[in-house]
Amino acid sequence: MNRLQITEKIIQTKISKDIKWSFVAETLGLSKEYVTAACLGQMPLNKEQAVLIASIFDLTEEETNWLTVPPNRGSLPTAIPSDPTIYRFYELINVYGSAIKELIHEEFGDGIMSAIDFSMNITREPNPNGDRVNIQLSGKFLPYKKY
């Protein structure tokens, strides 16, 4: 048994029982972004949260234990994503990456936006010309240390 098998079981159960990620998130009292990532094997949960997930997706005790372990992260099967929905974000980095770098350095000096002390928020923005996907990224600025 490995983590991937648990992810596949969760997805399969989600489809056959028609469960919504937002429902799972409410049950755990966490954001839907974090919970979805955890269910897909990218984030760990604590014991209590894992038990809740187990009850929703009919997991065994051993499967539940796996949910509490820091996973081997990385959800892309290839270096460049092939799925169009995911690829568009890679394209944004490809087109806007150097601009983002310039603007972060202009505003904050040398450093990076943390991908660890980080949160994300995906919402629907109604718009008469067609609704928009609104994604808010928030990460702590980490300056390079001089020594």
Q: Which of residues 6-25 bind a second copy (CB under 8 A)?
A: 8, 11-12, 15-16, 20-22
Q: Which one among 26, 55, 58, 94 touches a second copy, defined by CB under 8 A? A: 94
Nearer to a second copy, 33 or 54 (CB): 33
Whole-angstrom distance, CA of residue 101 vs CA of residue 97: 6
Instruction: Please give the residues from 27 up to 56 whose contact with a second copy meets the rule CB under 8 A.
Output: 30-34, 36-37, 40, 42-44
Q: Are 107 and 76 in contact (CB under 8 A)?
A: no
- Angstrom CA distances, 56 to 6, 49, 121, stand at 13, 11, 23
- Is the CB of 55 or the CB of 109 nearer to a second copy? 109
Catalytic annotation present for 88? yes
- Please say if 91 is a catalytic residue: yes
Catalytic member of 26, 91, 102, 132: 91
The catalytically annotated residue of 26, 55, 88, 138 is 88
Query: Least distance from C-beta 83 to a second copy, angstroms?
Result: 5
- The structure tokens listed for 129 are 């010309």
2 Cβ neighbours under 8 A, 6+ residues apart: none
118 phi, psi to nearest 5 deg: -150, 145
Q: Amino acid identity of 50?
A: A
Residues 117-136 that bind a second copy (CB under 8 A): 117-120, 122, 124-125, 127, 129-136
7 in Cβ contact with 68 (< 8 Å): no
Least distance between a second copy and beta carbon 55 (Å):
19
Q: How far is CA 34 from the centre of its chain?
A: 6
Catalytic residue positions, numbered: 88, 91, 114
